[in-house]
Amino acid sequence: MYQVLSPKYLIMHFSKLFTHCPTCGSALFIQNNEKSKRCQDCGFVYYINPSAAVAAFILNESGELLVCRRGKEPEKGTLDLPGGFVDDNESAEEALKREISEELQATVSEYQYLFSLPNLYEYSGMTIPTLDMFFACKLEDTTQLQASDDVEACYFVPHNQVDPELFGLKSVKKAVGIFLQPTV
């Protein structure tokens, strides 16, 4: 159940990371099934369900794709799309607008849901399953973008120069490949 991300990170599956019941503290917190653990003392069942995340495909007037360079782990230094996790009591669309504002200092004027992909996100020593929702977005202005938050840099790349292999997160890599496929 251990997976090495890099020498400084040891990633664990939730079933190995959580050894005691979060409700009563019992050590009799056993594997219930593939995605849950159950306390033999109090009966509490803990499920690890995917966290929701959003990502944006943004094109400028020339049809170039906006890419970001990740400023933080996981996959620091690799390419990414702008986006992030959906917060509590927030819709995917609200999260998309908030993340674009936080990461690019920009305002979304239009968006359209495209598709979703499962992913595994390595964070705080744990492998977190996510469901990543991808949107096509238009911004009010693409000329004044400022990399902020966990984005180190952002810039536009012509479609024929976008290499999905340079994207660090598996779902984003796959999504970029899907996005770049010619439509029939």
* pLDDT on residue 72: 94
What band does 7 get if pLDDT is binned at 50, 70 and 90?
A: very low
Mean per-residue pLDDT, 141-157: 97
**SS3 of the chain:** CEEEEECCEEEECHHHHCCCCCCCCCCCEEEEECCEEEECCCCCEEECCCEEEEEEEEECCCCCEEEEEECCCCCCCCEECCEEECCCCCCHHHHHHHHHHHHHCCCEEEEEEEEEEEEEEEECCEEEEEEEEEEEEEECCCCCCCCCCCEEEEEEECHHHCCHHHECCHHHHHHHHHHHCCCC
Across-strand partners of 38? 30, 45
pLDDT in tens, 66-125: 999 999 999 999 999 999 999 999 999 999 999 999 999 999 999 999 999 999 998 877
What band does 11 get if pLDDT is binned at 50, 70 and 90?
A: low
- 172 to 78, 88, 135, 144, 145: CA distances (angstroms): 11, 23, 12, 24, 21
Predicted structure pTM score: 0.87
Q: Would you say residue 12 has pLDDT above 80?
A: no
C-alpha–C-alpha distance, residues 55 and 71, integer Å: 16
* pLDDT on residue 184: 59
pLDDT in tens, 36-50: 999 999 999 999 899
Q: Would you say residue 5 has pLDDT above 80?
A: no
- Give the phi and the psi of residue 148 in degrees, each rounded to 5: -140, 180
Pick the CATH number of 51-180 from 3.40.720.10, 3.60.110.10, 3.40.50.1370, 3.90.79.10: 3.90.79.10
Closest Cα to residue 50, out of 30, 35, 62, 64?
35
Percent of the chain with pLDDT over 90: 83
What residues does CATH 3.90.79.10 cover in the chain? 51-180
